[in-house]
Structure 1
Amino acid sequence: MFILDKSLSFPPVSYADSNGVLAIGGDLSPQRLVLAYKSGIFPWYSEGEPITWYCPKHRMVLFPNRVLISKSMRQLIKKNIFEVRFNSAFAEVIHHCKTSKRNGQNGTWITDAMEQAYTNLHQLGWAKSVEVYQNNELVGGLYGIDLGSIFCGESMFSKVSNASKIAFIWLAHYAAQHHYKLIDCQVYNQHLSSLGAEPLARAEFLKYL
């Protein structure tokens, strides 16, 4: 495992261990974070731990035109009970992602430092959000890093059933319309798999960057 210093660089991603851990240390400056995402690397750690940088052997991704929409979701979308907005309430979205309770988890990996770092990236135009409203109340959403041809998803939340799915489906349609190559979902989870996300070998994923 590599320990980063103040220099703005990362080791080759092929040096990541079997768990995908590439390095620890460094900082969450906008310059380092943008370099990380452009290199296929992302930070993931908990409060009190050193900053840990990952590049898994297999990456969970969604090719935008392969998003899966169930019959029940199509019916829900047709009811038009949700309003989706783009990049209009980033600070609220990331804070909800940070504070929302999740099944099987005692807390969140979004530390105060992470929240501030991604807010800084938003102000610089790199981090963007999708917001889902119901009766003019923010009830779901997601945020991530927009690299122009790839959207690197970071986290999502729902205050009502299916709100995060609505956000993800909207993002997939937006990505397809704007010719994005893929949406990076980072690591496997059943929620995203049900929406069409699939594993991609690291070497193949890096070709899209």
Structure 2
Amino acid sequence: MSNRSRPEDAQDVIDPELLMLAYRSGIFPMAESRDDPEVMWIEPRERAIIPLDGLHISRSLAKALKADRYQVTCNAAFAEVVDACAAPRRPSQIDDGTDSWISERIAASYRLLNRMGHAHSIECWRKGATGRELVGGLYGVGFGRVFCGESMFSRASDASKLALCWLVAAMRAAHMELLDCQFMTPHLATMGAVSMPQADYLKRLEHALRPTTESSFASLPDGFHSLGAASSPGKLIAQSLTQTS
């Protein structure tokens, strides 16, 4: 880990109460570039979600899950996942160039949310020459029964897809309801994402935020760690997800 100061030590972050209010209202921030100090508040006309009972898992992905190909963790390297998601990518990997919408200010704001318990990451690791290395993952914001996925990355075969499988399984274990993917992409479509008008998304969001007295409701990290109690968590996840997809 570098000793250089993090952006939140040197510049303003988005007020966390304002940021969480935005998510609870169906709005999220983006920037035009990595060094853009300004924030654009986005409310898309069409919204993408992945139904928790509708994740599409290919045979090869199910096989990779059952093999527990990577070590999977939750909130073990949040800052590193955000940095990896924000890193420039090859033009062939994305549709709009090589820069990132995750500005330094936005990244700093999510790191603060993570320390407050409102943002979470899932990481995939494999053994390297000098120890384990981070090869994939995702991060997003969690509140109530909702998880808003922000970004994912992969440096090894199926790493981001496996992280998504663990996310869905953890949400199901925690009795959460709504997995927001923001914008539809071809990659998300292959995983079972569906698109809907923003108005329909807001109705689902309101339902997922309704008051409850259910004792079974838990946080995403709680749901994730309950999966690790199994002797072969990947096999358990593959079986539970393929039965409903």
CA contact (8 A) 2:37 2:103 kept: no
SS in 2 for 1:66: coil
Distance 1:204 1:131 in 2: 31
- Counterpart in 1 of 2:58? 70
Which letter does structure 2 place at the counterpart of 1:31?
Answer: E
Give the deviation of 1:45 after TM superposition: 2.0
Distance 1:207 1:182 in 2: 11
Distance 1:169 1:76 in 2: 11
The higher-RCO structure (CA 8 Å, 6+ apart) is 2
Which letter does structure 2 place at the counterpart of 1:101?
Answer: R
The answer to which structure has the higher strand fraction is 1
Structure 1, residues 171-190: CA drift from partner, whole Å, max 9, x if none? 01111121111210000111
Q: What TM-score results when the alignment is normalised by the length of structure 2?
A: 0.71
Distance 2:42 2:106 in 1: 15
In structure 2, runs of 5+ residues without a counterpart are: 1-12, 206-245
CA contact (8 A) 1:65 1:173 kept: no
Which letter does structure 1 place at the counterpart of 2:69?
Answer: I
Matches within 5 A, 1:167-182: 167-182=163-178
CA contact (8 A) 2:48 2:196 kept: yes
Give the deviation of 1:49 after TM superposition: 7.0
Which letter does structure 2 place at the counterpart of 1:71?
Answer: R
CA contact (8 A) 1:60 1:188 kept: yes
CA contact (8 A) 1:129 1:143 kept: yes
| Aligned residues between the structures | 183
- Counterpart in 2 of 1:185? 181
Distance 1:77 1:147 in 2: 27
- Counterpart in 1 of 2:16? 30
- Counterpart in 2 of 1:87? 75
Distance 1:86 1:200 in 2: 29
The answer to which structure has the higher helix fraction is 2
CA contact (8 A) 2:81 2:121 kept: yes
Distance 2:193 2:77 in 1: 26
Give the deviation of 1:149 after TM superposition: 0.4
CA contact (8 A) 1:101 1:107 kept: yes
Distance 1:68 1:182 in 2: 16
Match of 2:29 among 31, 40, 43: 43
Say if 2:112 is the partner of 1:120. Answer: yes
Q: What TM-score results when the alignment is normalised by the length of structure 1?
A: 0.83
SS in 1 for 2:122: strand
Structure 1, residues 63-120: CA drift from partner, whole Å, max 9, x if none? 1111110011111222222111111211111111111524242211111111111101
SS in 2 for 1:64: coil
In structure 1, runs of 5+ residues without a counterpart are: 1-26
- Counterpart in 2 of 1:200? 196
Structure 1, residues 15-35: CA drift from partner, whole Å, max 9, x if none? xxxxxxxxxxxx721111101
Distance 1:49 1:89 in 2: 25
Distance 1:169 1:79 in 2: 14
Runs of 4+, deviation exceeding 3 Å: none
Which letter does structure 1 place at the counterpart of 2:80?
Answer: E
Closer, same or farther: CA 100–75 of 1 in aligned 2, 3 Å: farther
- Counterpart in 2 of 1:142? 138
Match of 1:56 among 40, 44, 54: 44
Matches within 5 A, 1:2-17: none
- Counterpart in 1 of 2:227? none
CA contact (8 A) 1:89 1:129 kept: yes
Distance 2:86 2:199 in 1: 31
RMSD: 1.5
Give the deviation of 1:161 after TM superposition: 1.9
